[in-house]
Structure 1
Amino acid sequence: HQISAILPVKTRGRHYADNIGRCDILFSSLRHFTTPKTFHRFVIVVPHEELDEVKGYAKAWSDFPIEVVDESLYMGIFAEFSQRHQIRNWHRQQIIKLNAPEWIETEYFLVLDPDCFATHRFSADTLILD
């Protein structure tokens, strides 16, 4: 088995400034408890204005099959609701996660956040039973 992962990331704003550091911890924990080969694809979905910045940071995690995706290419509907009160950032993240099959072609995938990290050894075969 092979799995993919989707990780919505926002780096700008007072609640999100630590997200790159959190991603460093996430990827360090994945290196320790599994292998980058566990993943068919690791999709990081970011707001359009953060694309280049996150692509730069993602070079540190390039042993994983990372693809940084501009959310505006798939989630154009967000542009119609650009006022803060219309779609809050947390809601955007949930919509992106629900839309994960749009980005993922493997049958199974993990949905992650920057504040997630691995605590035990795992492989696709230990996650997918029967």
Structure 2
Amino acid sequence: MIEVAAAIIENGQGQILIARRKQGKSQAGMWEFPGGKIEVGETTEDCLRRELLEEMNIGINPYAYFGVNDHHYGSTHIRLIAYKATFMSGEIELVDHDEYRWINIAELKEFTFAPADIPFVEMLEEGE
């Protein structure tokens, strides 16, 4: 099983950040909450700070556990751990994605999300 962290990042306008996986990556063309693999000895929060700096060149503050989803992509089992986070600083530069958007929760249904992220989309929509 691979442990992966995902950040539900909010900006000052109450929007959340989503990003589309670029071609050549698994789940290419699908949208997700950005994050990445948790390294040995790393907390989920530290992973998210590191991954968002590496993948998007932004600083975030993970502040609250949001949920966990175990998902199987064929023979690959991932445990996706989501945290709510606040956007702190930086200009977004994409590495593993080819597009990003700041959207309102009501707009989530307009995007095709990676299967592991869908439970978090549903939780956000229910809490709206």
TM-score range, shorter chain: under 0.3
Higher relative contact order (CA 8 A, sep 6+): 1
TM-score normalised per structure 1 = 0.27
More helix by share: 1
Q: Over alpha carbons, which structure has the higher Rg?
A: 1
More strand by share: 2
